[in-house]
């Protein structure tokens, strides 16, 4: 009897120790194939479960192994099939398998490029979150409540009012707009060149910013002086305007006299131009006489007593038409 009791107790203990408890069962996160570890940074990963699916297109390529938080961001760690090409520009998005289903990670892989290494991180700039069922239902509720439809009806009504009776004007405006856009398209290279030149000029100004600052700093005292003399400059401009008016009036009154004097001066100038050759010979003779006179007087000084006979050439210039004076002694001139 005692042996039976001991055997029954052992059977109960063995059965209890082999009991299955689902709460203590581990969540499957492994792939069972060689994988690389990649972390994606999301702004929110609230509906993504641990062990969630990672997909690329329609294929399941990995699993979510851990979800951590840091600096109010969600860090989703994933094991991805090592044979899957994963370029460095890969982006990730959280999507829903169904309106009430769990979220999963969808990878968008660009063609080609260097591959992500094991332990790489997809930054938050290349991660997004798809629309949740809550957002979709809220948008549908907004439309069904009439606010969106009322706004659309208001816009359509305003457009009908604005365009009623102005169809031809609107058509002409569209043609003009098309012409302007075509002209811009034809001059696209010129516009691009102008923008490029402006960019180059901006870079040049940026490089010379210290020089410009120094120039403006040094020119400030000069500007201050000009500002201090502003009243005097104003009076100068006023006096200049008055002088201009007086000069104009004087010129207007003496215009006839000046014209008459110019006409009278013209014959004198013509006569001087006619004696140009003879006057030149006379001056050459005087220069020759001066050289000979200097050669004849090598000393420091000389006493000279003589009479200068003015040639007829000079006499004709001084007194045109007058008879030349007779020389002393009554001889010919």
pLDDT by residue for the chain (333 residues), tens digit each? Answer: 444 444 444 444 444 444 443 333 344 455 678 899 999 999 988 889 999 999 998 899 999 999 999 999 999 999 999 999 999 999 999 998 877 778 999 999 998 889 999 999 999 999 998 877 777 777 777 666 655 667 777 888 888 888 888 888 888 899 899 999 999 999 999 999 999 999 999 999 899 988 888 888 888 888 888 888 888 888 888 888 888 888 888 777 777 777 777 787 787 777 767 666 666 777 777 788 778 777 777 666 666 666 666 555 556 555 556 665 665 555 544
Is 184 in contact with 191 (CB distance < 8 Å)? yes
What does 281-333 look like in DSSP terms, one character per residue? HHHHHHHHHHHHHHHH--SS-----------HHHHHHHSTTPPPPPPTTS---
Partners of residue 60 on adjacent β-strands: 55
Domain definitions of the chain by residue range = 35-130
H/E segment holding residue 151: helix 147-163
The 3-state DSSP class for residue 100 equals coil
**Looking at residue 302, what is its pLDDT?**
67
| Positive/negative CA dihedral, 204, 206, 210, 214 | positive
**Looking at residue 94, what is its pLDDT?**
93
**Looking at residue 300, what is its pLDDT?**
66
32 DSSP 8-state letter? S
**Looking at residue 25, what is its pLDDT?**
39
Pairing of strands 35-42, 121-122: parallel
**Looking at residue 307, what is its pLDDT?**
63
H/E segment holding residue 53: strand 53-56
Pairing of strands 73-81, 35-42: antiparallel
**Looking at residue 215, what is its pLDDT?**
86
**Looking at residue 227, what is its pLDDT?**
86
**Looking at residue 299, what is its pLDDT?**
66
Q: Phi and psi (nearest 5°) for 172?
A: -65, -40
**Looking at residue 130, what is its pLDDT?**
82
């Amino acid at each position: 009897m005692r042996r039976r009791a001991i055997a029954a107790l052992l059977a109960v203990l063995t059965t209890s120790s082999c009991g299955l408890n689902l709460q203590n069962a581990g969540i499957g996160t492994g792939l069972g194939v060689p994988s690389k570890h990649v972390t994606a940074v999301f702004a929110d990963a609230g509906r993504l479960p641990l062990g969630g699916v990672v997909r690329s297109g329609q294929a399941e390529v990995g699993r979510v192994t851990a979800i951590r938080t840091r600096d109010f961001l969600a860090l989703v760690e994933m094991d991805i099939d090592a044979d899957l090409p994963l370029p460095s520009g890969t982006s990730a998005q959280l999507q829903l398998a169904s309106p009430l289903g769990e979220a999963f990670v969808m990878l968008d892989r660009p063609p080609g490029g260097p591959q992500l290494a094991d332990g790489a991180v997809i930054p938050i700039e290349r991660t997004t979150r798809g629309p949740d069922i809550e957002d979709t239902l809220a948008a549908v509720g907004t439309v069904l409540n009439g606010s969106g439809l009322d706004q659309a009806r208001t816009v359509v009504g305003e457009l009908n009012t604005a365009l009623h009776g102005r169809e031809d004007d609107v058509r002409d405006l569209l043609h003009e707009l098309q012409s302007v856009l075509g002209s811009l398209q034809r001059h696209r290279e010129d516009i691009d060149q102008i923008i490029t030149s402006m960019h180059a000029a901006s870079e040049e100004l940026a490089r010379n910013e210290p020089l410009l600052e120094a120039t403006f700093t040094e020119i400030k005292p000069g500007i201050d002086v000009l500002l201090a003399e502003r009243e005097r400059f104003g009076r100068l401009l006023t006096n200049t305007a008055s002088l201009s008016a007086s000069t104009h009036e004087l010129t207007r009154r003496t215009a006839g006299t000046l014209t008459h004097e110019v006409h009278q001066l013209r014959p004198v100038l013509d006569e001087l131009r006619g004696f140009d050759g003879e006057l030149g010979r006379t001056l050459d003779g005087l220069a020759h006489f001066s050289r000979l006179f200097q050669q004849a007087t090598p000393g420091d000084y000389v006493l000279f007593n003589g009479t200068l006979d003015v040639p007829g050439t000079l006499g004709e210039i001084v007194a045109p038409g007058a008879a030349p004076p007779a020389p002393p002694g009554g001889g010919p001139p």
